[in-house]
Structure 1
Amino acid sequence: MIVQVLFHQVTPHADITVYETDRLYGEKGHFRVLQFANADVQGALDLNNPERIVFEYPRAIIHLLEHHLGDLQHIFMIGQGIGTLSRYFADRHIQVAELNRTVAELSIEYFGCARDPLWIGDGRELLERQPDHQYDSVIVDAFDESGTPNQLVSLEFFTLVQHKLHEQGALIMNLIGRGTHDTRIHAIYTTICEVFPHVRCFQLPVEKNSDVRNIIMMGSQTLIQYQSRQLAGFTEEQPDYAYVIRDEY
């Protein structure tokens, strides 16, 4: 495998590397990758086919939102990464909040994202400043080196999101967890259920039940429907109920 490092920097929020490789998860090609220090790949661009969405979770998110909302127009997204979703929704009214300025700049320089929809800062604080009932969807795809930050999975945060969505709008989250062996995933699900009457959870199949995998959770005031064959391999799973996550004061 050939790897060429294009960028590496330790920032206050993450140890970040951008590199190119001729092999990604067993697939041969030419890929540009954003990776954090814990070896988690945050995003990948297929340089031979830049319009291709490489990973399954953004393809599943796109289907869930478009099937549920139809022609969604107003989106608020927390977490830019390489900008896969912000590029896909570039013809809509999308606002993206990214805490790490370096990640935002890399998404522009190395991954072809536009500068206009990007705000640098805390996504929750920026969302608080927006008018109520404005958005079709709030997308959360934000990670630090321990996972999704607590302030983005609390009861108070989900209540804030509910106020910013219109009556048919939807919250959708990309999470990382261990499925039925992950109490925190159960707690996030429980907390979303406190705010949204309709909640669905989808997971990528893994070899062992304890393996880490992508998990998508979606909450709405209205019934959530989808087509299984369009979920890029995700299947619906029902987490257990656990505790409610609250802000730490």
Structure 2
Amino acid sequence: MDKKTKKALCGTCGIETNCETIVYDSNRSCDNYVDGTNPDEVILLVTKCLGCNKYTVSEVTRCDHNIEEDEYGTWYIIPSIKILYPTDYNGSNITSREEFIKSFNKKIEKNDSCVPPKILLILRECLDAYKFGLNTLSTVGLRMIIDAICQEKENNGEISKAKRDELLEKGHISKNQKKILEKIVDFGNDAAHQFKCLKNKDIESCLDAIESILNNIYHLQEINKKLPDSKNNRR
């Protein structure tokens, strides 16, 4: 392949910058599976940075399930880039999606002891769908989590009907949280009936919002139970 100049991740500068392509070897054999599936394309890429004049050797993996939609509605594959050289590269070799999932799993573990198992199951399945690029299923799953919260509160007799209005009226959520829940429900309906899924960043925002609401409804409730009565705690 002829040498070309394009944007690429420089292992020395640590950012995407103008680089000269020295080697572009596509469809190499790959020993590792990506997210449990065979990658569609694995590229050995050797580039020379036009800024620092240093060489970078990287492995670029492209999978058709790891896609994103741009502002013009065009879908494109988000590549996963692993820097092989320089060996002291101190940047991240995982995608932003993988970073989010790793961080979010830790948040789930924090609420594992107080959030009802059925709700956590749906939350984990929703996250798994997002992990494998199944954004439509993940978007529908977001709505299912909201429904599961309402049903759980009704079954426990904390609200009279499994309705989001009841959550607000009984003080389980705030007005701002109610507005977010209504948006998530609309997103889920659009995904289920019109096959319109959320973009990666929007799914992550919704998951963060749901985690915050679960923390507010269940985790803080457990903390309140453990705290001594305020009257007996006065000095």
* TM-based fold match above 0.5: no
User: Shorter-chain TM-score: which interval?
Assistant: 0.3 to 0.5
Higher RCO (Cα < 8 Å, 6 or more apart): 1
For normalisation by structure 2, the TM-score amounts to 0.33
Q: Larger % of helix: which? A: 2
